[in-house]
Amino acid sequence: MPNGMDFLRWLRQEPPALKVRALRHNNPAIVTYYWDGGAKNGHSVKDISSTGAFIRAAERWYVGTVLTVTFQQEFEGAPEGRSITILCKVVRHAPEGFGVSFMFAGNKDRKLLDRFIQRAVVRRQARVKFVKRLTHERGQAMIFTVLCMTIMLGFMSLAVDVGLLFRAKRMIQTAADSGAIAGATELNYGNVTAAARAATAQNGITNGSGGATVAVNNPPSYGAFAGKPGYVEVVVSQSQNTPLLFFRSSVTVSARAVATLGRGQACVFTLGVSGTDIGISGNANISIPDCGIIDNSVSNDALDLNGNITLNAQSIGVVGGVSKGGNVSVTPNPVTGIAADSDPLAFLPSPAIPSPCTANVALNGSKSQTISQGCFSGISASGNSKLTFNPGTYVVNGPFNISGNASVTGTGVTFDLIGSTTFAGNITLSLSAPTSGTYSGILIYQPSSNANSISITGNSGSTLEGIVYAPSAAVNLTGNSGSTIYTDFVTRSLTLTGNASFYSYESLPGASSPLTKATLVE
């Protein structure tokens, strides 16, 4: 048991200091700088507390060495208050560095250090938390879903607007094609621009309306047919709204077409609207495989075939019906119920009638005569006479009658018939149309004001080459086997009897026919 002195000594003894370990922060994103007698070196801090720190460094200082150390937060551009300089004493060594304790001049320095450490640690924690958020999988599906939906909506918008642009392109191209065809059709009439723009308007594109422009060029301004007459170019452009394309609010869509007058698809036109427009009987052989037939009559027997008939055409179109009797062969089968066609040669001007027009030619017996173009009050040849026509246009303002065994010859001739016309008997005809000029390809021109019928009968040695144009007249053709007839017809009606046979005028080498049709070439 302790004596009294020991007890008093124990009472006077001061209690030992409570040793509380300061809170240390690992990897606090702080770097240090101190001077070692050479260059200023920077080192990272392994941990730090309010009483000391451990500095990663290769130098080994003696324990008790005092260093002036600057601590700075580990990022660039640190503002004022994010670094602090403190006197430190080396207290221990380790393989990776050394530990120091802080030597404060007063409580103020300690408080500054505490705030400095707190800011550095908070910033470090914020950075770690941000990185964790980036690497955390929670919510990623929603983010990717939103991104994918945005991209899909963008592509859908692009698809919709591109589809609308393709549709607009088709419409504008259709309008340009229609305009070019309509303009080319009017080449013989002179209303090219008006016809082309009217056709584009019918297809929804009106020049000067809705941002649309319709340019009509005759001849074309560029392309394979630039500068060539007889070609019509139509260029159509229109601004189209693209509301779903974020980078463009509108796009200009344009189309171009070029058309010209090419070979027509038909070479026989009968323009009468009732009765039998085309009647073929006997042993006729009609071979026009390179062109078609148009019959405008609405009657059930608009096309009447009776006998040993062979009809071969590229196409046969009838507004009304077809009647057949006998041994009839038709290729191809006629198409009924078509729309009526218009006069394809209505653009041809009527030849001027000179004044006075009193010359008269009348041959009979075995007489022969050669005449030149002009106006005649009548022409007739009978018996064994021979009548020769020099090249040119002959206006016959009266009867034109050839009969008996007469022989009539003419190359490059056109007959403008004002009166009646009859070629009958055992006559021999050798007539051909011109291949140039206003009446190129026209052998007989009978104006629409003259409804007198035309009757032509030729023997086995007859030759006819050209177009018979008589839009208001009935034409009756009677032939014999051996006749060479290359004739196209534009008449009110056409009747073929006997052994009449004919072929398309356009099938002749060098033939120049005004029976044309507008065709797209670009």
Measured distance between the N- and C-terminal CA atoms of the chain, rounded to whole angstroms: 130
Q: How far is CA 242 from CA 99, 159, 302, in A?
A: 71, 11, 54
Beta-carbon contacts of residue 482 (< 8 Å; ≥ 6 apart): 459, 460, 461
- Characterize the bridge pairing of strands 407-411 and 428-432: parallel
Q: Check: CB of residue 44 under 8 Å from CB of residue 31.
A: yes
Amino acid at 111: K
Residues whose CB is less than 8 angstroms from the CB of residue 380 and which lie 6 or more positions away in sequence, other chains included: 361, 362, 363, 399, 400, 401, 402, 403
Q: What is the pLDDT of residue 85?
A: 86
CB-based burial, 473-502: b 16+ in 10 Å, e otherwise? bbbbbbbbeebbbbbbbbbbbbbbbbbbbb
Q: Are strands 463-479 and 454-457 parallel, antiparallel or unpaired?
A: parallel
CB 455 within 8 A of CB 423: yes
Kind and range of the H or E element at 304?
A: strand 303-307
β-sheet bridge partners, residue 393: 414
> Is-contact 461 482, C-beta < 8 A?
yes
SS3 393: strand
pLDDT recorded at residue 472 = 94
Pairing state of beta strands 421-423 and 400-402? parallel
**Confidence (pLDDT) at 279:** 92
Give per-residue pLDDT as tens, 221-267: 988 889 888 899 999 998 877 766 656 667 788 899 999 887 777 88
Domain 25-135 falls under CATH 1.10.8.60 = no
Q: Which residues pair with 241 in a beta bridge?
A: 250
* Partners of 422 in beta bridges: 401, 455
Assess contact for 234 and 255: CB atoms under 8 A.
no
Placement of tokens 């058309």 in the chain: 259
Q: Degrees (nearest 5) of the Cα angle 473, 501, 461?
A: 100
- Residue 341 DSSP code: P
Paired residues of 45 in beta bridges: 55
Give the Cα-Cα-Cα angle 484, 277, 317 (nearest 5 degrees): 85
Residue 242: name the closest of 250, 234, 254 by CA.
Answer: 250
Task: Decide: 391 and 413 in contact? Cβ < 8 Å.
Answer: yes
Give the other-Cβ count within 10 Å of 190's Cβ.
10
pLDDT beneath 70, residues of the chain: 1-22, 36-41, 75-81, 128, 130-140, 161, 243-249, 458, 460, 479-482, 500-501
pTM of the model: 0.65
Query: Do 192 and 181 form a contact (C-beta atoms < 8 A)?
Result: no
Radius of gyration of the chain (CA): 54
User: What 3-state DSSP class applies to 207?
Assistant: coil
Note the pLDDT of residue 18: 43
| DSSP structure string for 246-296 | TT-SEEEEEEEEEEEEEE-SEEEEE--SSS-SEEEEES-EEEEEEEEEEE-
Q: What is the pLDDT of residue 247?
A: 61
β-sheet bridge partners, residue 71: 32, 84
**φ, ψ at 185 (rounded to 5°):** -60, -30
- Measure the CA–CA gap between 242 and 85, rounded to whole angstroms: 65
Q: How many whole angstroms from its chain centre is CA 306? A: 50
Domain with CATH 2.40.10.220 in the chain: 25-135
Q: What is the pLDDT of residue 20?
A: 47
Q: Taking a C-beta distance cutoff of 8 angstroms, is the pair 470, 414 a contact?
A: no
3-class state of residue 198 by DSSP: helix
